[in-house]
Amino acid sequence: MRKPTSISIAQDAKDDTGMFVQFADGRTFREPIIILEGEKVERIRQGYTCIWCFEDVDAPFPKQCPVCTFPMADMQTRLFARFYMGIDVPLTSLEEKLAMLDEEEAREAYDARA
Ligand SMILES: [Zn+2]
């Protein structure tokens, strides 16, 4: 299997109240915070890059991603609209989100010891 193209995944949301995506076969995925270059975002918007594994594809919006089988034709545009936070998100907002995740992790670590 080819490796996905390079991305930055800041942190997965790990609590049970976080947003998630569920596929028809029952698999669920937490909503991660993902930081992408603007060019990559445009490729995803135009269907040339899988929104799920960030693999580049030859033709826009194939029925399924060749790497992760994500249904790009059916789901990519909808998922993009749902997940995209914009390129103008203030840095402080992102930092606050990351700080919240740090706190959650610390709390989970604490709960795990209890
Ligand atoms: Zn994919």
Break the chain into its structural domains and give their ranges: 8-88
Q: What percent of the chain has pLDDT over 70?
A: 58
CA of 5 to the centre of ligand 1 (A): 10
Query: How remote is the CA of residue 101 from the centroid of ligand 1, in Å?
Result: 26
pLDDT number for residue 114? 67
**CA–CA gap between residue 82 and residue 77 (Å, rounded):** 9
Closest of 4, 10, 5, 7 to residue 33, by C-alpha? 10
How far apart are the CA of 102 and the centre of ligand 1, in A? Answer: 28
Cβ distance 32 to 12 under 8 Å? Answer: yes
Question: What is the structure's pLDDT at 42?
Answer: 85
Higher pLDDT, residue 74 or 9: 74
Average pLDDT in the 91-110 region? 77
Ligand 1 midpoint to CA 112 (Å):
33
Task: Supply φ then ψ for residue 11, to 5 degrees.
Answer: -175, 135
C-alpha distance from residue 76 to each of 48, 79, 101, 111 (Å): 10, 5, 26, 37
What is the reported pTM? 0.49
Residue 93: what pLDDT?
65
Query: What are 28-78's pLDDT values in tens digits?
Result: 666 555 667 778 888 998 999 998 888 999 999 999 999 999 999 999 998
